[in-house]
Amino acid sequence: MSVKSLRKPFEQFVRFNLVGLVNTGIDFLIFTLLLSLGFFALGAQSISYVAGTVNSYFMNKHLTFKHDEGQRRSGFDLAQFTKFIVINLVVLGCSLPILHLLIQQVGLHPIWAKVIITCFTVCINFFASRRWVFKSEKHEHVKEM
């Protein structure tokens, strides 16, 4: 694998993480607000994660995984959005028991437990988004040849 072939994935990963900072900010803001309002951590996590996910889809579609101008898709893509939601539901489903374990068994504060969970979910989301959700048709065509 050449350095040139790694450039686009690296640039996408950087953009994904910049978008992720915004999403994480939204997620943590809502999570913290809900905790302060008396929500349990798992309920707060579910609501805040959904808010960050919706923002994530639109920002990643238009900033991180945008297609070349000749292939740019306009409008809403239901199949793509469905894949994005499936990935995020799986990640949420995996993160909730780990969050519970870190809080109840390990004794971490909910915010610190969420920080740990977020580190893992970022990597899973990037690779799944790049390889399945926002996969370029051009990349598919070249791969088939």
pLDDT in tens, the chain (145 residues): 666 777 888 888 889 889 989 988 999 999 999 999 999 999 998 999 889 988 999 898 888 887 644 444 556 788 999 999 999 899 889 999 999 999 999 999 998 998 899 888 888 888 898 888 888 755 444 444 3
C-alpha span between 78 and 142 (Å, rounded): 25
Other CB atoms within 10 Å distance of the CB of residue 40:
13
In this prediction, residue 48 carries a pLDDT of 93
Other CB atoms within 10 Å distance of the CB of residue 142:
9
Task: Answer yes or no: are the C-beta atoms of 57 and 84 closer than 8 Å.
Answer: yes
Question: Which of 6, 15, 144, 136 has the alpha carbon at shortest distance from 71?
Answer: 136
Looking at the whole model, is its pTM more than 0.75? Answer: no
In three-state secondary structure terms, 108 is: coil
Tell me 134's DSSP state. S
Which value, in Å, is the radius of gyration of the alpha carbons in the chain? 17
In this prediction, residue 71 carries a pLDDT of 43
**Pseudo-torsion of CA 120, 32, 86, 76, nearest 10°?**
-120
Task: Say which residue the tokens 């048709």 belong to.
Answer: 137
